[in-house]
Structure 1
Amino acid sequence: MTEAPSSGPGWGREYDDRHVHAGHPPGARHEPEPAFEGPLHALSQAAWQLVLLTGVVSLILGILVLIWPGPSLLAAGVLFGIYLLISGVFQLAAAFGTHRTTSLRVLAFISGALSILLGLFCFRGPMESILLLALWIGIGWLIRGITQILAAAHDSRMPARGWQIFLGIVTFLAGVVLIVSPFESVTVLTVVGGIWLIAVGVVEIVTAFRIRSVARQVPQNV
């Protein structure tokens, strides 16, 4: 500790560091440091917010699809074709620009080429894109339904487990119907898609609030 020189009352105060080592005077108010938020607590908070956002978006999209079925389905067909084209281009780039094994590169090339062809097929006419979109949605619903049922059946601690199993069964059956007999009516397909989006949105919102109730039990510093 540096002693303050005694040559004068004000001389050398800039060299006096005794105030640094001195404690707080009696009666002084010491502000507590804010609690540190642990990674698990932050993750639990972000999880239910993300699920809630997904549910709200699905619910809004489902309502819009039911209100404007025609424009919504045509827009979905165009976006689906664009998605297939972009996905195909990226898969072809991955096939030629990566150092993976030959078999994986061949599979990526075939998948990319088929994706581009299907994307171009969507732009031949609205009915072609709608038919392809129906089959694509049917396969997606089938896989999602099976995955959701298995996940809920094997995890007894899953929030809203009964709703998850019910939604998985409904999604699986809807996928089977779309694959076996694609809808001829554009309106029916649109209504089914809108109802499915609303159902998913409601289940996701319920799941988000259940996750929030569990997340509140996680200590903030964990």
Structure 2
Amino acid sequence: MTSASRATSHTPGYDTGAPPGADSAERLARAAWQSMLLAGVAALGLGVVVLVWPGVSLLVAGVVFGVYLLVSGITQLVSVFGTHRSVSLRVMGFVSGALTLLLGLFCLRGATQSILLLALWIGIGWLFRGVTHLAAAVSDPGMPARGWQILTGIISVLGGVVLIVSPFASLTLLTVVAGIWLLVLGATEIAAALAVRRERRSTAHPVS
């Protein structure tokens, strides 16, 4: 190979054999599992905080859960383009992420209103997110870590239903129930993120 041909083969803009958009797809896939991992770590950390924090006030609980919903909404918006293949599923994921962001703002603005409202905001956020996860995983057989995605959706839906329909008489009961669910949800999301990472790596570098 001549020096001119070597320069041409390494010059940006020339065909290197990779399909068009491969780099963008790879970046989106990497951002997807990283955002899922961030959501799982945030859920796990929040679950620990609310369970070990004795006598947490309604204001603090509202702020903490509001921040979590904001993080969860952002990670949904980031991951929707890396894990969902069809346009309809991406739209559902985008709507779910935007709604979760809105509910997080409600928690922050109305943190001192009532325990029932706080449980309602959190529950609706979990319910919509879980439904989106389930719909995406069930309808897309090629989704990375599909089993973990389904399990995450089921846990999120169940947690949302419990928080919506259960009359919590005290903030302590709400934080205990939500904290336990956050621990389970966080661990599942972390496992799903790592599974997506493994599948992406095996697809990008298949064993010959």
Query: Normalising to structure 2: TM-score of the pair?
Result: 0.58
1:81, 1:151 → 2: CA distance?
25
Task: Identify the match of residue 171 of structure 1 among 156, 161, 164.
Answer: 156
Task: Identify the match of residue 137 of structure 1 among 122, 140, 154.
Answer: 122
1:130, 1:80 → 2: CA distance?
12
Q: 2:35 is aligned with what amino acid?
A: L
Which structure dedicates a bigger proportion of its chain to helix?
Answer: 2
**% identical equivalent positions:** 53
1:49, 1:170 → 2: CA distance?
20
1:63, 1:133 → 2: CA distance?
19
Native 8 Å contact 2:134 2:149 kept in 1: yes
Task: Identify the match of residue 51 of structure 2 among 47, 57, 66.
Answer: 66
Unaligned runs of 5+ in 2: 17-21, 68-101
Native 8 Å contact 2:127 2:160 kept in 1: yes
1:208, 1:72 → 2: CA distance?
33
> How far off is 1:73 after superposition?
5.0
> How far off is 1:129 after superposition?
2.9
2:175 matched to 1:218?
no
2:160, 2:46 → 1: CA distance?
20
Partner of 1:41: 26
Partner of 1:89: none
Q: 1:68 to 1:211 in 2, by over 3 A?
A: same
> How far off is 1:76 after superposition?
2.5
Q: Which of structure 1's runs of 4+ aligned residues deviate more than 6 A?
A: 34-37, 79-82
Partner of 1:154: 139
* Partner SS state of residue 145, structure 1: helix
Q: If you compute each CA radius of gyration, which structure gives the higher value, 1 or 2? A: 1
Partner of 2:190: 205
Map residues 108-119 of structure 1 onto 2, 5 A cutoff. 119=109
Partner of 2:73: none
2:160, 2:42 → 1: CA distance?
22
Q: 2:156 is aligned with what amino acid?
A: T
Native 8 Å contact 1:73 1:190 kept in 2: no
Native 8 Å contact 2:151 2:188 kept in 1: no
Q: 1:133 to 1:34 in 2, by over 3 A?
A: farther
Native 8 Å contact 2:155 2:185 kept in 1: no
Aligned length: 155
Q: 1:72 to 1:194 in 2, by over 3 A?
A: farther
Give me the CA root mean square deviation.
Answer: 3.8
Query: Normalising to structure 1: TM-score of the pair?
Result: 0.55
Q: 2:147 is aligned with what amino acid?
A: G
Partner of 2:176: 191
Asked which structure has the greater RCO (Cα within 8 Å, sep 6+), the reply is 1
Native 8 Å contact 1:44 1:215 kept in 2: yes
